[in-house]
Amino acid sequence: MEHFQFHRVFMFASALAMVVVAIAADQLQTLPGCTSTCGDTQIPYPFGVGNSSTQPQQPCSLNPNFDLVCNNSTLLLGNITVLSINIQAHQMDVMFWVARFCNDSNNNNPWMTIADFSISRNENKFLTVGCDSVGLLNSNYDNKTYSTGCLTRCYGNNVEIDNGTCSGIGCCQVDIPPRMRDINVEAFPYSDSSRDCSYSFVAKHGSYNFSTTHLRSFPYETLPLVLDWTVGDKKCSDLESGRGEYACKENSHCNDTDTNFGYRCTCDDGYEGNPYLGCTDIDECKTDNHTCISEQNCLNTNGSHICFCPHGQSGNGTKGVGCQQKDVVYKVVIGVGVAIVILFVGTTSLYLIYQKRKLVKLREKYFKQNGGSILLQQLSTRENSSQMTQIFSEEELKKATNNFDESLIIGSGGFGTVFKGFLANNRTVAIKKSKIVDQSQKEQFINEVIILSQINHRNVVKLLGCCLEREVPLLVYEFVENGTLFDFLHTERKINNETWKTRLRIAAEAAEALSYLHSAASIPIIHRDVKTANILLDNTYIAKVSDFGASRLVPLDQTEIATMVQGTFGYLDPEYLLTSQLTEKSDVYSFGVVLVELLTGEKPHSFGKPEEKRSLANHFLSCLKEDILFDIVQGGIVNEENQKEITEVAILAAKCLRLNGDERPSMKEVAMELEAIRYLAKPPYINRDQNLENQYLLHEASSMIFELGDNSSLQHTGYDSIRDCVLIALDNGR
C-alpha cells in the first residue's frame, strides 16, 4: 500500500480526471441525438423515440420492442401511456384500462400485448369491485392460457361493506402469479339477475383505495400498474456461448435471476449509470462509502478506491490500521523517487515538443515547396468566395481516409492513386494522391489548381481543394458514386443492360463538358487524356469528366503548344504523337475513340485479336468503308428506331478520327451534333445528303496510312519538343 503513497500526486491528478469523466457520463442516459424526455418523463436507453437527429439511420431504441412515441408531452408504448421508467429496477409504470360490465351494454374487456414485458407480481394486485361480481386476469403466451381472479358477493346487503378496505365483500383482491405477459382483463356479474356494475383491474400497490361510493359510480377509467421488462429472449448462458446479440455494455454484466423471459443488464460493483450504454465509476470517496480514515486519505479508482497515509506517515490509511509517523530515511527515498519521475517526465516532454516542432517545420517546407505561397497570394485576390479553393491540412485528409487505408482505394494509375474519403462535415469526397510535383513547374501546378477550382459545370468533376503540407500533394474532388464509363461498358454484368438512349445521352454530356473546357473556361483547358475511364457516372448515370492530371492550360493567344507526349494507348491522336504539338483537336480524336467504344462495346486496343482488329479505331473505319457498320455495333442496342441515330453517331466518330487535326470538328460542333441527333434534328452545318457523306468517309478511310498496330514504332516512343528527348512507353493515364 505504501507504493501508492509515493505517487499520490500523480494518482490524485488521474482521479480528478476520472471524476470529471464520471460526472459527464452520468448524464448519458440516451444515445447521442435522441430525445431524453417527453414532458416530465425521462426516456432512458434501451427505450427511445424515433431516430437520432445526428445519425438519421440510427434508431434511438435497442430494438422495435422498446420504441416509444411522444404525443403532446405524453409518452406512449403502443396505445398505453407511460408514467415512468426505472432503468435500475427494470420496471415501467403505465396507465392501464379498467374492465367494466354494466347492464347498459357499454362494456369493455381491455387487453395488452407487449413483447419483453410482464406484469410485476411484487408491485401490483388484481382487484374486482362490485356486488355479485367476478373478475379474471388472463395470460395468453406461447399458445398457453392461464388465469387468476376473485369473486365478491353482497347478497343485497351493502351495509356490512367496510369502507376504505378491500376485504372481499364489495371489493376483492389477489396476488399476481408469475409469467403474466400478454394479458386481458374481464369483469362480469356472478348471476344474470345482478343489476350492479362490475369492475376489474390491475393496480400498483397504493394507487387505489376502495370506497363504497365506487359501487354506485366507479370514478376511474385507467389506473397505474407496474411492468417488469427484460431484454431479448435469451438467457445469460446462451449469450456467453455466443448465441444472440449482447446488450450489456462496458462495466456491466448479464443477470437473469428472477426473470421468466430474457435477461437484464446490471452495472458491476463500484459502477453506476445505464448498463445498456456503459456504466461509470462510483466515487466512493465522495459518497462516504469507503474504508479510509478520511476523505483526504481516499483515492478513487475504477470500480474501487485506495486508502493512503498523509505525507510523513506510514501505514495503509484504512480505518482499522491507520497511519503512523515514518523515519527520515524513508523521506529521502521518497524524494529521490519523485525526482527521478520528474526528470523522466520532463525529458520525455522535451523530446515530444522537439519532434512536434520538427514535423511543423517539415510541413511548412513542403507547403512552400509545392507552391503554397503562390496559392495563398492568388486566393487573396479572388473576389468570389463561393468558388474559393479550400486548403486542407494533412491531418484532415488522413482522418478522412483512415490514414489512407488501402481498402478505400477507388482508382489508381500513372498520375496517382484515388481514395474515397469522408470529411468532418460528413461530405464524401475523392482524394487524389498525386506523384511528386516537378519543382520547375510548381507555379503552373498551382495555376491549374486555381483554374480548375473555378470550373462550375454539371458534367465536370468539381475540384474542391488541395493539401500541400506533404511531399506528395493531395487534390480533393467531389465524389461520383457510380464508377466509370469504362466499367459501365466493359463489366460483364452491365453489358446490354442499358439502352442506346442512355449511351447517347452520356456521349452528349461528355462532349458538352469538353466543349466547355475548350471554349467557355476563363483559360482554355486541353484535357489530353480523354477516355472512358476518365468519364464518371453518378447515381443517375449523368456523365462527369474527370482526371485533369495530364491537362494543360492554353494561353488565349496560342492555338497549340509543344509538350511531352502523354496519354493512353488506343486513344492517342496520331498527329500529336508525330509532332508533339498539342491542340484541342487532340481531345477531339480521343473523344472519337470514346464514341466508337460506346457504339461497339469493345476496348480501344486488344493485343489478343488479329492484327487488323487490334486497333478499334482502324477496325471501325474499315467496317465503315466496307459498309458493314452494324457488324461491329454491339449486339442488343440496335433496333428499328435507332438505326439512323447509330449511323449518324458513327459518321460523327469518323469525322473525329480524321488524321489531319484541322479537318476534325471542334468539340463545340461535336456537342451540338450529338444534341441534334438526340432530338432528331441536325444543325445546319451538317450535310444532310447521307450518300454523299458515306462516299466522303469511305474515301477518307481508304486514304488512312497511319495504323497503330503491333509493328508501329510510334506506340513505344514519343518526342518531347521541349526537352528534346525520347520517352519510354506511354502512360495509361490513371
Closest CA to 517 of 537, 534, 504, 541: 534
- Residue 46, preceding peptide bond in cis (omega within 30° of 0): yes
Eight-state DSSP code of residue 51: B
Provide the pLDDT for residue 374. 64
Q: Do 372-478 and 485-727 come out as alike in CATH topology?
A: no
Least confident of 235-239, 492-496, 614-618, 701-705: 701-705
Q: Is the CB of residue 138 less than 8 Å from the CB of residue 216?
A: no
Q: Which amino acid belongs to residue 394?
A: E
Higher pLDDT, 554 or 482: 482
Confidence category of residue 650, pLDDT binned at 50, 70, 90: very high
CATH of region 372-478, choose from 3.30.70.60, 4.10.490.10, 3.30.200.20, 3.40.50.300 = 3.30.200.20
DSSP state of 518: I
Is 433 part of any known ligand binding site?
A: yes
Strand 41-42 with 37-38, pairing: antiparallel
Across residues 181-196, what is the average pLDDT? 85
Reply yes or no on whether the pLDDT at 678 is more than 50. yes
Taking the C-alpha atoms of residue 166 and residue 526, their distance in angstroms, rounded to an integer, is 94
Eight-class DSSP state of 497: T
Contact in structure between 235 and 256 (CB atoms under 8 Å):
yes
The number of beta carbons lying within 10 Å of the beta carbon of residue 580 is 18
Question: b/e string for 591-601 if b means 16 or more Cβ within 10 A?
Answer: bbbbbbbbbbb
pLDDT at residue 523, as a whole number = 76
Topology of 485-727 in CATH? Answer: Transferase(Phosphotransferase); domain 1 (1.10.510)
Coil, helix or strand at residue 86:
strand
Residue length of the chain: 734
Return the minimum-mean-pLDDT range out of 35-49, 107-121, 318-332, 461-475: 318-332
Least confident of 33-47, 54-68, 603-617, 720-734: 720-734
- Candidate from 72-76, 127-131, 380-384, 473-477 with smallest mean pLDDT: 380-384
pLDDT band at 668 (very low <50, low <70, confident <90, very high): very high
Residue 111 near residue 79, CB atoms below 8 Å: no
Whole-number average pLDDT of the chain: 80
Residue type, 35: T
Q: Which of 284-293, 355-364, 427-436, 637-646 has the lowest mean pLDDT?
A: 355-364
pLDDT digits (tens, 9 = 90+) for 283-315: 988 887 888 988 888 998 888 899 988 877 778
Single out the residue of 457, 589, 607 nearest to residue 529, CA to CA.
589
In this predicted structure, which of 16-25, 51-60, 258-267, 355-364 has the lowest mean pLDDT? 16-25
Q: What angle do CA 193, 196, 200 make, to 5 degrees?
A: 115
Packed helices 667-678 and 500-515: angle between N→C axes, nearest 10 degrees: 150
Residue-wise pLDDT tens digits, 72-87: 999 999 989 999 999 9
Question: What are φ and ψ of residue 426, in 5° steps?
Answer: 70, 10
pTM: 0.46
* Cβ 609 vs Cβ 471: under 8 Å: no
Beta strand 171-175 with 124-129 is antiparallel
**The three grid cell numbers given for residue 89, joined into one nine-digit string:** 429496477
Sorted by where each begins, the domain ranges of the chain are 81-229, 372-478, 485-727
Is 132 in the active site? no
Kindly list the distances between the CA atom of residue 465 and the CA atoms of 391, 430, 468, 474, 546, in Å, as whole numbers in the listed order. Answer: 6, 11, 10, 9, 15
- Residues 70 and 48: their CA atoms lie apart, in Å, by 10
Helix (H, G, I), strand (E, B), or coil: what is residue 720?
Answer: strand
Identity of residue 651: I
Which run of H or E residues covers position 467? strand 463-467
CB 271 within 8 A of CB 251: yes
Residue at 241: amino acid letter: S
Q: 576 falls in which pLDDT band (50, 70, 90)? A: confident
Round to whole Å and give the CA distance between 650 and 624: 8
Task: Give per-residue pLDDT as tens, 686-702.
Answer: 444 444 344 344 434 43
**pLDDT surpassing 50 at residue 200:** yes
pLDDT of residue 44: 95
**In the predicted model, is pLDDT for residue 185 greater than 50?**
yes
* 3-class SS shares of the chain: helix, strand, coil, % to 5: 35, 25, 45
User: Which of the four pLDDT bands, split at 50, 70 and 90, describes residue 720?
Assistant: very low
- Cα Rg for the chain, rounded, in angstroms? 41
Q: Cα separation of 67 and 49, whole Å?
A: 6
Q: Is 694 left (phi over 0), alpha (psi -120 to 50) or beta?
A: alpha
Q: Which of the residues 116, 132, 228, 529 is marked catalytic?
A: 529
Helices (H) and strands (E) in the chain, counts: 18, 39
Average pLDDT on 31-38 reads 93
**HSE of 262, CA atoms in CB hemisphere, 13 A:** 19
**Average pLDDT rounded to a whole number, residues 173-195:** 87
Q: How many CB atoms lie within 10 A of CB 184?
A: 17
Among 331-340, 375-384, 588-597, 719-728, name the one with the lowest average pLDDT. 719-728
Name the nearest CA neighbour of 210 among 128, 133, 136.
Answer: 128
Give, in degrees to the nearest 5, the angle at Cα 654 between 648 and 659.
Answer: 160
Amino acid at 142: D
Measured between alpha carbons, how far is 547 from 460 in angstroms, rounded to an integer? 10
Q: Could you tell me where the beta strands, DSSP code E, fall in 257-317?
A: 264-267, 271-272, 280-281, 298-301, 304-307, 313-315
User: How far apart are the C-alpha atoms of 278 and 29, rounded to whole Å?
Assistant: 9
Average pLDDT over residues 428-454: 71
* Average pLDDT score over residue span 470-497: 78
End-to-end CA distance of the chain: 65
